[in-house]
Amino acid sequence: MLQLGVHVSVAGGLERAVDRAHKKGCQAFQIFTTNPRSWRSRPISAETARLFSLRLKGCGLETVVSHMPYLPNLASPREEVYCRSVGALADELLRCQLLGIPYLVVHLGSNLGAGERSGRERIVEALQKAIIDSGSEVLILLENSPGTRNSMGSTFEDIASIIESLPRQSRRLGVCLDTCHLFAAGYDIRTPQALERTLGEFEGCIDPERLKLVHLNDCRGGLGSHLDRHEHIGLGQIGLEGFRSIVCHPLLRERAMILETPEDSRRDDSGNLEVIRALASDIK
């Protein structure tokens, strides 16, 4: 059975997110543990952590994932932003550990024109420092980017080079593959054959055991458009055949899958979950 879920709100308390995920019929879910558009994070009380853990056990949800806020940029050449970003990552690792969340998804950020080499060095230093400073055992999942201007991590080689630059901390690093970002960056996944080629490239660079999570999002832009615009499953350029291939693939179907699709008049989270479950029914 797929570990399938969505990103859910924590409005009203972190523990409420568990109830929302359970109500949607999720086996997995993703949250922000704090305001994603602020540098400030409210401390998590022991009581909140206790309630969160109790709700998780009570609902029997298999996988919970946290996502880093939007403001941190681990590749930034701007010292003040960079220092705050490293501190935010270390803080979020500790928040995850307190809540019993095993995975933290991290965007690799933008080098802001300073170049890929500079950006990579900044990211490696940031990851190393945050891992050491936090002392947590939470696994950091490096998310691939769509290849927008100056963004880091749009290729498998980029991500592999970061992991390889941290031999002592590499056991603390995993990967999250976002389907919209993959397609926008130029990796074709629209057919079983195309998906197999793309995953072959992935396995040629990165140990597949590092892949812990898949973000399931269709893409509004075309192949290699570098457009980071998520679309409802099957209504974008990847299409239903692409997602049928993804959810039925033996490597990917064993990983937790989180939808980050829009909610609008056309479809909501439940509608997208229903489409994915129908596609997954084709698993032999």
Task: Give the pLDDT score at 171.
Answer: 96
Torsion sign (Cα): 26, 30, 35, 37: negative
Looking at 15, 91, 92, 143, which residue is catalytic?
Answer: 143
pLDDT digits (tens, 9 = 90+) for 229-273: 999 999 999 999 999 999 999 999 999 999 999 999 999 999 999
Average pLDDT, the chain: 96
Annotated catalytic residue 22: no
230 as an active site residue: the answer is yes
**In this predicted structure, what is the pLDDT of residue 217?**
98
**Phi, psi angles (nearest 5°) of residue 184:** -65, -30
Averaged over 153-159, what is the pLDDT? Answer: 98
Q: Is 269 annotated in the active site?
A: no
Which top CATH class is 4-280?
Answer: alpha beta
67 annotated active-site: yes
Task: With a cut of 70, say whether residue 283 has pLDDT above it.
Answer: no
User: Active site includes 70?
Assistant: yes
Give the residue with greater pLDDT, 101 vs 1.
101
pLDDT digits (tens, 9 = 90+) for 30-51: 999 999 999 999 999 999 999 9
19 as an active site residue: the answer is no
Q: Which of these is catalytic: 7, 20, 107, 210?
A: 107
Q: Is 143 a catalytic residue?
A: yes
The one catalytic residue in 22, 55, 67, 172 is 67
% of the chain residues with pLDDT over 90: 96
- Mean per-residue pLDDT for 100-115? 98
Domain ranges of the chain: 4-280
